[in-house]
Amino acid sequence: MSMPIDLVFVRHGESESNVVHVAERAETIHSAHTKVYERPDWLQRLSGQGVEQAKSAGGWLDSNDMSALKFDRCYASPFMRARETALFVGGQDSAWLLDDRIKERDWGEYGATPVEIRKELFPYSHKNHKTNKWYARMNGGESLADNVLMRARDFIGTLQRDMSSKRVLVVSHGEFMLTMRYLIERMLPEEWLAMDEDAAQEIKNCTIIHYTRQNPDNPKDIRTHVSWVRIVYPYNEAGSPWGGGWREVSEKRAVSGEDLEKQINCSEPLIDREE
């Protein structure tokens, strides 16, 4: 079994909750603040800008010979903002499988609480999310390192079993896509954290991540594992990570004792071992 020849992820467009959260970070309250927080997360719709971003993503895919109709299978998260994005990306003639495994991370009570009072109500979660992001679990919610990672592994298993050597399009969410990067690009936790903190690799609304086993410079060169990735902002390709160009993905690597020594030295001992 192998992965699809092409596996393309699209993050949903800007949602109404995204708009409210941006306002909160700017220490202002949007007029829709209360209504957005009262509505369950899975029901949040796209904003006007989100609709335009989704149309832009669909246009970019079309112009790069990757319209939704050319994929062997299209998946979308059942969350409304992802379904709406899929509609604008693929048009009314496209067909989508709605799959709970690729839904947004559940942020529990922490995520359902307005930003201005999160720190007061959930001090441990607030701190943990800033200092231990890969492993942090919000109150009543999911952590990336176990819950979301488990869903992502299961989804990859389906792709390997059912979609080997085919083309797959997935409309999903930012943190699910970040978790897929961890798996597909064979990262370590510290590498994932460095990637997540790198503003140049931000998974913005309607970011497209394209993985392939086919050499972009030689179509006859098809590898047994995912070997190339590009990340594109369809509405600003020149401003995309690595300019929207391809980067190689290395095969799974064995770790030597020397490697282990370098890795563990990134975490400083806190107790003198001579004690």
Residue 133 domain-assigned? no
Stated pTM of the model: 0.94
- pLDDT score, position 222: 96
- pLDDT score, position 250: 85
Q: Which amino acid is at 25?
A: R
Closest by alpha carbon to 156, among 138, 176, 137, 127?
A: 176
Cβ atoms within 10 Å of 179's Cβ, excluding its own: 25
- pLDDT score, position 266: 86
Residue 11 domain-assigned? yes
Q: Which two tokens stand for residue 208?
A: 């497209």
- 142 pLDDT more than 90: yes
d(CA 25, CA 28): 7
Quick one: average pLDDT of 256-260?
Answer: 92
Residue 38 phi, psi dihedral angles, 5° rounding = -80, -15
Mean model confidence pLDDT for the chain: 94
Q: Per residue in 201-244, pLDDT tens?
A: 999 999 999 999 999 999 999 999 999 999 999 999 999 999 99
Q: Per residue in 78-97, pLDDT tens?
A: 999 999 999 999 999 999 99
d(CA 88, CA 52): 9
Q: Which residue has the higher pLDDT, 275 or 247?
A: 247
Q: Which two tokens stand for residue 263?
A: 């890795």
Q: Tell me the pLDDT band of 254, cut-offs 50, 70 and 90.
A: confident
Closest by alpha carbon to 174, among 64, 53, 6?
A: 53
Task: List beta partners, residue 8.
Answer: 169, 210
- 151 pLDDT more than 90: yes
- pLDDT score, position 274: 75
Q: Which two tokens stand for residue 142?
A: 């999911």
| Domain count within the chain | 1
Residue 238 domain-assigned? yes
- Count, in order, helices (H) and strands (E) of the chain: 11, 7
Closest by alpha carbon to 52, among 94, 14, 91?
A: 14
Residue 25 domain-assigned? yes
Residue 159 domain-assigned? yes
- pLDDT score, position 255: 86
| Residue showing tokens 């792709």 | 159
Residue 252 domain-assigned? yes
Q: Tell me the pLDDT band of 251, cut-offs 50, 70 and 90.
A: confident
Q: Per residue in 38-76, pLDDT tens?
A: 999 999 999 999 999 999 999 999 999 999 999 999 999
Quick one: average pLDDT of 126-154?
Answer: 94
In angstroms, the Cα distances linking 176 to 77, 102, 179, 203, 227 are 10, 7, 5, 11, 20
CATH of the domain at 182: 3.40.50.1240
- CB within 8 Å of 184: residues ≥ 6 apart: 3, 7, 156, 211, 226, 229, 249
Q: Tell me the pLDDT band of 116, cut-offs 50, 70 and 90.
A: confident
- 117 pLDDT more than 80: yes
- pLDDT score, position 163: 97
- 141 pLDDT more than 80: yes
- DSSP conformational letter for 136: -
> Which phi-psi region, left, alpha or beta, contains residue 241 (left: φ > 0; alpha: ψ -120 to 50)?
beta
Residue 55 domain-assigned? yes
Task: List beta partners, residue 208.
Answer: 10, 232
- Domain range enclosing 27: 6-106+142-264
Which strands, in side-by-side order, build the sheet including 208-212? 97-98, 73-76, 167-172, 6-11, 208-212, 228-232, 247-248
- DSSP conformational letter for 12: P
Residue 240 domain-assigned? yes
- pLDDT score, position 273: 76
